[in-house]
Structure 1
Amino acid sequence: MADKLVRTHTNQSNRAKAKDALERKVVFRSVLDNPFRVQWPSVPVNVQNTILARLIDMLHGVREYRLEFEKQNRRKRQRQFERNAASRAFKRPRLAPSTTDTIGIVPESTVTESSQPAQGAAGNDGTDIIRSRPDVLDHLTSGINEVTRLLEKTAHSLVGTSVSTSSDGLPSSEARPSVVLVCRGDVSPPALIQHVPHLVAACNTRGMRKDVDSVHLIPLPKGAEATLAEAFGLRRVSIVAVHAGAPRLSELTALLQTVLPPTASWLAAPTDATLPLVPTHIKQLRTTAPKDMKAAKEQRVRGRTAAKDRERAKKEAQKARASKT
């Protein structure tokens, strides 16, 4: 016992619940599927890889621009920091009048050394050359939050009899999304992108009444997130929306002839024509159930009775303490 540094407890924890002694078996329960769920489009893997390669080709020069832009920003912040440090060096603390005679002027060498970095940095302002911004960046929207806002604005602009003006913050015809690429295999948890098919379906269903081009939704294969992040020069890119006015957009849309855009039939305008009803879809849910249902029921009854007895005893103890006081 002397060799042990820590005492070992082998008894059961007070917080651990006793395991269910009843044996359980695997059962399947039939449940109704949600009829308002929008399915992800089924896109062949070779088409996904081709679309990803075309998008990476469209992003030529974006990584270099972002890296150089960030480098210039770091230089500007460093220059501003050096200017602030130099200005603080000239500011002397206020002292009593009796000690002003003993304080000399700051040596010229000190002022020169502190001001040289700022002057050198200021002289480099004119020599910094920033790479021109690639035109494709004006026709792309990346990020889950940004793409979600774009889809919401697009769906909102298609409500009513007339399209709202751009002054309300709504996207114009060229700024509307045409292709939405989602790194479905890389996003964890998947709940972060579950709303995307519904938003795309809302845009497509409402756009049918105004002869607006549909928005294609393309899930990308696993590993596409790192590839897009490398091409964008960012840490992570999970979703990208390509606008309708993007250059070389036809290279992507030419590959989507067999991919149907997602739609939502319950959002379409009512018509006089007879609409086909969606057949009921029953799913099988895998779960477990006790092998001996009678014993399980008796155990639940005993558990409820014991819980009631404990609650009753607790109330009686509280009444007893209250009566003593």
Structure 2
Amino acid sequence: MKDTFTSAGPRRPKTLHNLDSPYPPVQWPHIAPNAQQLVLDLLDGLLSPIGQYRLHHVTPSKGKRARKRRHQEQPSEDATVEKPNPQRPPICEHLTVGFNSTTRHLEASAQASKSAERSSLPHLVAVFVAVEEGSNVLHSQFPLLCKVGSKAQPDLPEIRLVSLPRGAEQRLAKALGIHRVGPIGLLVNAPDSEPLVQFVRDNIAAIEVPWLDHLTRGELLPTQIKTIETTAPVKVKKAKGRIVKSQS
């Protein structure tokens, strides 16, 4: 006996139950395309001195073997006069560059928010990510980290999360003088950053996490159970040349 389903035949009512988390994913702040482009222009200008410094004073790496060979061929220290490099651009001390360093700083801020004392960790003004809003799973933790990390210093404006337009990664990498670049964090009181900081705070909303206050107070939200009323095809059993309708 073989069971089949008839697509055009009779249908029976069916109830489906779907379990959903009471803590939905945190949404990225929406940013208008023209605002994204202006932020990118301002950030590019802020980072360009780093690229110029690296271009004139930093030798690009050619790998470990080349470095070892150069070290072996290098004359003794007594026979060489080392030229001192000029000081790095001051903006270097006010940035987190890359996925790991930016994530570590946000995690440290989030950890510090649990303490009753004011954190001495430098406050992040904004995190810039060259990815479309929420489109990359790798960056999905940033909205919540920015929101929780902001609580470490509640007297300062919240950390803004800024998604940048397509092509931003290549442009920022060129400005920094490196091949690739991930998320960039801008720390408070960065030199020459006032126009960028003011524009970001005026045009990009703080992250909203409605359920975070419940967790802070120790309140657990109930599991969301969604009930959907639908229909399903009636199962048809074929046995020895005849069709038997099953009501199961």
Scaled by the length of structure 2, what TM-score is found?
A: 0.70
1:172-193 CA-partner distances (Å, limit 9, x unpaired): xxx2211110111399x81110
State the alpha-carbon separation in 2 of the partners of residues 37 and 196 from structure 1.
11
- Partner residue, 1:259: 204
Q: What is the one-letter code of the residue matched to 2:129? A: V
Q: What is the one-letter code of the residue matched to 2:94? A: H
2:30 equivalent to 1:39: no
State the alpha-carbon separation in 2 of the partners of residues 261 and 186 from structure 1.
14
- Partner residue, 2:171: 227
1:77-120 CA-partner distances (Å, limit 9, x unpaired): 5542215xxxxxxxxxxxxxxxxxxxxxxxxxxxxxxxxxx36x
Change (3 A) 1:65 1:211: same
Change (3 A) 1:72 1:223: closer
Q: Trace 1:190-269 onto structure 2 (pairs within 5 A).
A: 190-204=136-150, 206-207=151-152, 210-256=154-200, 257-268=202-213, 269=216
- Partner residue, 1:81: 72
State the alpha-carbon separation in 1 of the partners of residues 101 and 194 from structure 2.
23
- Partner residue, 1:62: 50
How far does residue 155 in structure 1 lie from its aligned partner after superposition?
A: 1.6
Higher relative contact order (CA 8 A, sep 6+): 2
More helix by share: 1
Q: What is the one-letter code of the residue matched to 2:54? A: R
**Residue 294 (structure 1) aligned to one of 203, 222, 235:** 235
State the alpha-carbon separation in 2 of the partners of residues 259 and 72 from structure 1.
37
Q: What is the one-letter code of the residue matched to 1:247? A: P
State the alpha-carbon separation in 1 of the partners of residues 137 and 162 from structure 2.
17
Is the deviation greater in 60-69 or in 43-52?
60-69
Q: What is the one-letter code of the residue matched to 1:38? A: V
State the alpha-carbon separation in 1 of the partners of residues 127 and 234 from structure 2.
50
State the alpha-carbon separation in 2 of the partners of residues 23 and 129 from structure 1.
82
How far does residue 241 in structure 1 lie from its aligned partner after superposition?
A: 0.4
Max Rg structure: 1
Tell me if structure 2 keeps the 8 A contact 1:184–1:221.
Answer: yes
Is the deviation greater in 39-48 or in 261-270?
261-270
1:223-253 CA-partner distances (Å, limit 9, x unpaired): 1011111111112112100001211232112
Tell me if structure 1 keeps the 8 A contact 2:131–2:164.
Answer: yes
State the alpha-carbon separation in 2 of the partners of residues 193 and 161 from structure 1.
29
How many residue pairs get aligned? The number is 213
**Percent same amino acid at aligned positions?**
25
Tell me if structure 1 keeps the 8 A contact 2:36–2:163.
Answer: yes
More strand by share: 2
1:138-188 CA-partner distances (Å, limit 9, x unpaired): 1010111111100011122222211355xxxxx2xxx2211110111399x
- Partner residue, 1:142: 97
**Residue 130 (structure 2) aligned to one of 179, 183, 198:** 183
